[in-house]
Structure 1
Amino acid sequence: MTIRRQYSLPNCSLILDGWAGDATFNDGGNGRPLMSILVNAECRFLAQDHNSSVLKGDRDFLESLVRVVNNYTQSILSGLNPDPPQDWVGESVQIKPLPENNRHQLQLIQTEDGKPEEVIKVDLTTVELFDLVEAIDQLLTDGSTLPELSLSLHPHSRKIRTRNEPFVKKAQPAITGVASLAVAAIALFFVPIPEMREPEPRENTGSRREETLPSETGSIVPPGIKATVENTSKITDSDQLASLGSDLQTKLTENLEQEIPQAGLEYRVWVTGNGDVIGYEQLAGPGLNITETPALPDLLTLPMDLNNRQISEVAELEVRFNPDGVVQVEPK
């Protein structure tokens, strides 16, 4: 009997087809038949601009997808660069950042005897990437589906740390905790790599942890951003502010997919002179989590793209999302 498992998120679905095989157990402990043999795995992305993109393959494809997405996600959470390309030799799945448009390119390399190599590419937003992480996490915690499938984690080498950055003591995340970090991941983009030092008193730890996590409204306020704004030249030229505002308005309008509440939404947004969005906080409107926040999470600049650039000037802009879908941007 063919068994199907489907792990669905708003932006992607992970679908597995397989058999029970000769396993002696009738189920995985939850009343469902145990899938021990995988026949086909499909990863579907549902956004219109993907044209229902589908990546599919066998057991090797699935295991490669799990390994590579986990490695890339760890690099985002830690602020370090992903493993060098030579470490991914033999992987049918690869992923790389596209900093010029704040996307992540997922690639499936298909090879068949006697046929030229085919590469399928899907450019994902940050929200779509972490929906994929959540789908993989659901699979790994499902005891009735491929129970022997596991996630092997290892600490990154010192060789890949960012230049001129202090030594990092990395903590290995829990095997099935990757998706639970997804909501905080974008905020953690901007957490500086800590230096090794003696443990601080417990009471200080709580306040520092509070600072690095996103607020209940889904705001992304990087630690020290307000101090950075105070100590950095503010953009006051009206023409430059108008240009930055117009550019941000265009990007937000192009990336707006969520329905806006009747009360509307207002945000303070910090933008560099190059137009990079480095943080935002909600000023008005109902509280939303990060995945519900319209457009802004997709425009955040990754830390690996800012590490080698010094922020010389910053502008504060006020963004309003209206219920009719119109986006307004004005200097703060």
Structure 2
Amino acid sequence: MTTIRRQYSLPNCQLIVEGLIDSQAEDSMTSGRPLVSILVNAECAFANSEKRLMGGRDFLESLVKAASAYAQEFLSGVRHPLAHHLNSNIIGFARVEDRNLHRLIWHPETEQNNAGTPSEAVEIDLTTVQLFDLVEAVDQLLADRRTLPDFSLHLEPVSRRYRKADVPVARRVAPVALGASSVALLGALFLALPVPKVEEPPRREETAQTDPADGDATPTEPPLAIPESPIAQESPSPQESPSPETLSPEEIKALVASAPQVSDPTVLKYLARNLYQQIDGAWEDRGTIDRDLQYRVSVTPGGLIVNYEAVQPTSQDAAEQTPLPKLRYNTLDENAEIADFRVVFTDNEVLQVSPWDGYQGTATLGEEITDRATLSALTQPLRNRILDAQSDEPTYDRALVFRVGVTEEGAIADYEAKNQAALDFVERTPLPDLVKPEAAGIEPGKNLIPQEPLAQFQVIFKPSGALEVGPLDNRYR
């Protein structure tokens, strides 16, 4: 085996990974760049600090998880207990309130004194810029599929049980799993957005009543609330589904086994977001799970769940403790592509969703309008449209940050919450009523990716009633 040193450098942070090339691995040199599969040592250093952090795999995993959890807490404004005891025996973070700094606390994992207790902790005070350079360096590592390909991070939203009692419950979206660009990781890391409540499409074997006035089908059983998002506002009725033929689970499983896999990272990003929303919105009895339940879930490019299989040691029968059985769709076009995701229902009531094989490339928001004149022309009309629709006085005490996608004609086709306050209070903004995904060619059940270029804006609702609209900050992509 050969030792390789990989470096991920930002202006204020440097992450170095040293590992071994497994010459026996089938794809060790297929891309012309050696595949580093075994970690030997990891180091982390910051600008203006002589202290260097270093250790093995446990150290690296602790650094990644603790930095991600703390950054999520910092941006959301919601205290997350996991941010303070994730691998706290190695890496931890604490806020230095009076100095507006972030204290990284490292307990060297290999330096033990004779009594067998950890050596003295090392503390480094980071600025906010240094903190996010660390997050970006971590993302560069995770996006590099030629370095530690089995190393991954499952991003999680704040669990319901950590929410304040006076904060309304809003549907949460887990961040799209890793491997995206640093800006995509930050956008996902600090949570994606829920949107208007809608009803689950009735399955073919269920009867439905249709109101001739509006043509909406209403299931005979209680409607399923799916967190709203322009990409998951409604599911297709059976008449609109890709195939009207009802299939048994065994028939669908056979089709899934032979179907081509979706590999486009942007499609996977939108599908992961949509899948999380569907499951999280339907997962009500969270307290019944006493151990992690893991599944391989197959969905169509339109976001329909068509199959799920338990991953050992999870029993297939345990699925009855999850929403998966009632969310599974019973039709599938024999020519449809399939995207597989790893879905974990944790015993601490947190949902995790990530692509089964990770992201092979960098996910984007789709085609964008970048012409400055066009962006400038769209800014004021967007601001006016939101202000005209906002009738109530603000009842929140923190700024709500959203990403808003607008067509060249000025229609709001997509939006996404970018901080915890936006998730909590999205229904107190006019965005759910203003969004028109069809304006960008988004068809739930068929296609979740905008088919028209969108201008991406950052929209901030202030507690004072003020509204800020401007170009999207790269941190919130």
Q: Same fold (TM over 0.5)?
A: yes
The answer for the alignment partner of 1:167 in structure 2 is 169
1:65 has 2:68 as partner: no
Based on CA coordinates, which of the two structures has the bigger radius of gyration?
Answer: 2
Cα 1:3–1:85 shift into 2, 3 Å? closer
| Equivalent residues of 1:12, 1:132 under 8 A apart | yes
Amino acid at match of 2:177: I
Amino acid corresponding to residue 159 of structure 1 in structure 2: R
The CA deviation at 1:92 is 1.0
Q: Distance in 1 between matches of 2:124 and 2:80?
A: 18
Note the residue ranges of structure 2 that are not aligned, 5 or more in a row: 191-398, 402-417, 441-453
1:200 aligned to which of 433, 436, 446: 433
Matched-pair contact (CA < 8 Å) for 1:25–1:34: no
Give the corresponding residue for 1:223: 461
Q: 2:5 corresponds to which residue? A: 4
**SS of the residue aligned with 1:118?**
coil
Aligned residue pairs: how many? 224
Give the one of 30, 53, 56 matched to 1:55: 53
- Contact 2:157-2:175 at 8 Å conserved across structures: no
Between the aligned partners of 1:166 and 1:29, the Cα distance in structure 2 is 51
> Paired residue for 1:138, among 131, 137, 140?
140
Alpha-carbon offset, residue 23 of structure 1: 3.8
SS for the counterpart of 1:6 is strand
Rounded to whole Å, the distance in 2 between the matches of 1:81 and 1:151 is 20
1:92 is matched with which residue? Answer: 90
Is the 8 Å Cα contact of residues 105 and 124 (structure 1) preserved in structure 2? yes
Q: Which amino acid aligns with 1:25?
A: E
Q: In the aligned structure 2, how far is the partner of 1:93 from the partner of 1:86?
A: 9
Structure 1 equivalent of residue 152 of structure 2:
150
Q: What is the CA–CA distance in structure 2 between the aligned matches of 1:90 and 1:227, rounded to whole Å?
A: 40
CA distance in 2, matches of 1:132, 1:139: 11
Task: Please tell me whether the aligned partners of residues 7 and 135 of structure 1 are also in contact (alpha carbons under 8 angstroms).
Answer: yes
Q: Distance in 2 between matches of 1:170 and 1:80?
A: 13
TM-score (norm. length: structure 1): 0.56
User: TM-score normalised to the size of structure 2?
Assistant: 0.41
The percent identity for this pair of structures is 35
Deviation at residue 155 of structure 1 after TM alignment? 3.4
Q: Is the 8 A contact 1:108 1:121 kept in 2?
A: yes
Unmatched runs of 5 consecutive residues or more in structure 1: 213-221, 230-279, 292-332
Separation (CA, whole Å) in 2 of partners of 1:179 and 1:199: 28
Cα pair 2:91 2:105 within 8 Å, conserved: yes
Question: For residues 207-256 of structure 1, what are the alpha-carbon distances to aligned partners after superposition, in whole Å with 9 as ceiling and x for unaligned?
Answer: 9x8453xxxxxxxxx52266369xxxxxxxxxxxxxxxxxxxxxxxxxxx
Q: Distance in 1 between matches of 2:156 and 2:62?
A: 16
Question: Would the aligned equivalents of 1:151 and 1:175 in 2 still touch at CA under 8 Å?
Answer: yes
Would you say the 8 A contact 2:45–2:51 is kept in 1? yes
Residue among 100, 103, 113 paired with 1:102: 100
Q: Is the 8 A contact 2:62 2:87 kept in 1?
A: no
Aligned to 2:124: 122
Cross-structure match for 2:243: none
Partner of 1:25: 26
Q: Relative to structure 1, is the Cα distance of residues 168 and 281 closer, same or farther in structure 2, using a 3 angstrom cutoff? A: closer
Q: Distance in 2 between matches of 1:126 and 1:29?
A: 39
